[in-house]
Amino acid sequence: MPETETLYADSPFRNREFTKLFIAQVISLLGTGLATVALTLLAYDLAGGNAGVVLGQALAIKMVAYVVFAPVVGGIAYRFNRKRLLITMDLFRALIVLTMPFVTEIWQIYLLIFLLNIFSAGFKPVFQATIPDLIEDERAYTRALSYSRLAYDLETLLSPVLAGVALLFFGYSALFLTNSVTYLMSALLVLLVTFPRGAATARLGGVWAEISFGVRSYLKTPRLRGMLALYFGVAIASAMVIVNTVVYVRENLAGSESAVAVALAATGAGSMLTALVLPYLLDRVTDRRVMLVGSLVMSVGLMLIYTSPDYIELLLIWFLIGIGWSLVQTPAGRVVNRSSSVSDRPSYFSAQFSLSHACWMVAYPLAGELGLLLGIETTALLSGMAIVLFTVLGATLWPREDPRVLEHTHESLNHCHEHRHDDLHHQHDGADKSEGQHQHEHKHTSTTHSHVFHIDDHHPHWP
């Protein structure tokens, strides 16, 4: 087969259902970017010179919603029809954004941001968990993750430009309206997607066990613990870029506002370029090695800031850091997907979403406070050194030899939950011989066997 045909065969866009979801993602991201610009202007109208404080607090509220509610939705997502769940959350997001032009008090901004991001915390990880259900081929799935990464970077670059053009003709309230429409369009596209039938899921324990299942399982999986350590590095690097670029360019280099925008764009350009190349690299190199290298690249970039670079050098350093964080973030979906069963994917992706944003929740204020107390250069040096430590921790927690198939032993156990007799762990005699989903008390005898291993209710501990 010619090389061009091979590349086309690996394209996720051959899958019409994924294409619909990807378009929904791009549309909603652009709408969110426009609303972010509008929110900045609304905060300035209400708070004037204190707008930065208002936006900082709104960002903190957003992170709290992400960290707290993503595991809740992920833990109980299996109880609901996934298509209806995604559509419902899109509709609620559209309604909340539509009320923002009517805000007259700062506390109302905080309330609406919190409500909006509760639904975003539910939508995003369930959406991410759906992609591997649609694209089972790992090469095509890797490319789907790269395109998703590109969509986020393009939103960062294009949304301010589009907002600037729109504001030449309309007030910023129109940007909120546009965002509401994009969420409705996303809901319509999700409605048109044919979702594969989800695998049956049963949870042992009560409501708390369901809610905490994803985080508990995530933290018991060695490769995911290692990846979380690397995400602390990503959070440190991105917080340094997002929080302190404006200070370094405006104060240290006496640059303009447009120079700040270009510096931020340099990071996005590095990330986008890497996302395009990464699928071909991951065909030859393991996720672990790529992500560890990316983490070290970020650390080197930050430590170079200690040399007090001029503007051109800063652009190159920020470009380098963009390469580093894309090397870490883009393969993350593959690692989470490999670590979870089909039925438990929403819980694992929600745990990844929550725990990674917990890293940012710590890193954002820390970058700002240290930058003020110690100066940008010293803060960058310490941040780079911290990323080196997190890289070493990640390499230690994530074993070099990381087989998916593991031999393990089950102790004998009596319990009762929904199951099928034709699955791997329920081939036993019971009161009900039905091959469908059913429930009765049953016994698992002690056994030792090997199969693709995931932490779940039948495998609560890593071998």
**pLDDT tens per residue, range 50-63:** 765 676 677 778 88
Q: Say if residue 354's pLDDT is above 80.
A: yes
Q: Which two tokens stand for residue 309?
A: 């670079």
Mean pLDDT score across all residues of the chain? 82
Q: Are 306 and 176 in the same domain?
A: no
Which spans in 202-344 are helix H? Answer: 207-219, 222-247, 257-282, 287-304, 311-329, 332-338
> What's the pLDDT score for residue 47?
78
In angstroms, the CA 28 to CA 22 distance is 10
The verdict on residue 436 lying in a domain is: no
Could you say which of 195, 228, 253 is where a domain stops? 195
3-state SS class at 308: coil
Q: Are 45 and 113 in the same domain?
A: yes
The verdict on residue 433 lying in a domain is: no
Could you say which of 148, 169, 195 is where a domain stops? 195
Give me the DSSP letters along 250-270: IIIS---HHHHHHHHHHHHHH
Closest C-alpha among 125, 126, 190, 154 to residue 32: 154
In angstroms, the CA 270 to CA 265 distance is 9
CATH number for the domain including 142? 1.20.1250.20
Q: Considering Cα of 384, then 388, then 389, then 394, what sign does the dihedral take?
A: positive
Asked whether the beta carbons of 148 and 25 are under 8 A apart, the reply is yes
Q: Are 274 and 391 in the same domain?
A: yes
Could you say which of 381, 399, 417 is where a domain stops? 399
Q: What is the pLDDT of residues 241-271, one digit of tens each?
A: 888 888 888 888 988 777 877 888 888 889 9
Q: Are 181 and 271 in the same domain?
A: no
Q: Are 214 and 150 in the same domain?
A: no
> What's the pLDDT score for residue 144?
87
Q: Are 219 and 177 in the same domain?
A: no
Q: Are β-strands 413-419 and 438-444 bridged in parallel, bridged antiparallel, or unpaired?
A: antiparallel
Q: Are 358 and 313 in the same domain?
A: yes
* Domain assignment of residue 165, given as a range: 14-195
Local confidence band at 4 (pLDDT 50, 70, 90 cut-offs): very low
The verdict on residue 445 lying in a domain is: no
| Higher per-residue pLDDT: 90 or 68 | 90
